Amino acid sequence: MKKQKTLAGSAQFSGVALHTGVRATLKIVPAPENTGILFRRVDLPDKPVIPAAAQCVVDVQRGTTIAVSKTAIVYTVEHILSALHAWGITNCIVEMDGLEPPIADGSSMPYYNMIAEAGGAVEQQGEIRSFTPPHPIWIEGGNTRIAMFPDNERLTISCVTSFKDCPFDPQFFEYELDTESYITEIAPARTFVNFADLKQLLAMGLVKGGSLDAAAIIHNGAIICKEKLRFQNEIVRHKILDMIGDLKLTGMNLTGRIIAIRPGHPKNVELAKTLIELAEKQA
């Protein structure tokens, strides 16, 4: 059994939130064993806590949103959760002064580095449950297909994406989750959006904090971003980044082999909930 982990210290990060466009500050602090990952809205009365748990997911459109009430809500938690998953952190409190964490450059690299600045992960005495599915799992819907197979040793994600007008299409990447390789292979991959979807999001009053500093835009056979692509297959790597974050919502140390075709938050969260249900049946 693997040991639970928390942070060696605390760290803070500030920046503009993607959808609200307001200045946001996020602070991560250590927590005792069996706390789990908790988001605390320090800007609200009584500072309500929202567990990073699949059962608290209330929206999966353009990001993963968790809530315990109409006001105690946090948008787009997947990037910070992805970094916490890579570090193996099982217990910490993420303090936020608003609805959203900072988008930063659209990747999880700032959050991974923030955890490193806090001293990284430290083991605790308690054990975390490790789980691999007892049999193959199949999730599908729309253009998405996800299969997960048992593997008691590691978590591996093989992913394929395809987007209209993308100059490098389709894209493929296979990744085995590891703290050391995450910072070079996955964390730098930035979020992206199709130009047609961007216009729709703007019309909905969203992405007020969006810019070429925080995302890549697919438009007319080109990828538009402030700097050059960090990887030729940066889009598929970001999809893996998101999946790693969404699977953290299980609260378990997961192992298995995942094959994902055009994954997104809706089916990522469905997979997380399916794994929780299977684990509860085995308990």
- Known catalytic residues are 265
The set of residues, in sequence order, having a beta carbon less than 8 Å from that of 266 and lying 6+ positions away, is 60, 61, 141, 144
- H/E element holding 208? none
Residues 49 and 43: beta-carbon distance below 8 Å: no
Beta partners for 160? 172, 261
Q: Which of 196, 195, 173, 198 has the alpha carbon at shortest distance from 186?
A: 173
The set of residues, in sequence order, having a beta carbon less than 8 Å from that of 202 and lying 6+ positions away, is none
Radius of gyration of the chain (CA): 18
Residues 266 and 68: beta-carbon distance below 8 Å: no
Q: For residues 204 and 255, what is the distance between their CA atoms, to the nearest angstrom?
A: 39
CA-to-CA dists, residue 47 to 50, 58, 95, angstroms? 10, 19, 9
DSSP 8-class letter at 44: S
In the structure encoding, which two tokens stand for residue 74, read together? 């946090």
Residues 157 and 255: beta-carbon distance below 8 Å: no
Q: For residues 239 and 190, what is the distance between their CA atoms, to the nearest angstrom?
A: 9
Query: Cα-flanking dihedrals φ and ψ of residue 77, to 5°?
Result: -90, -5
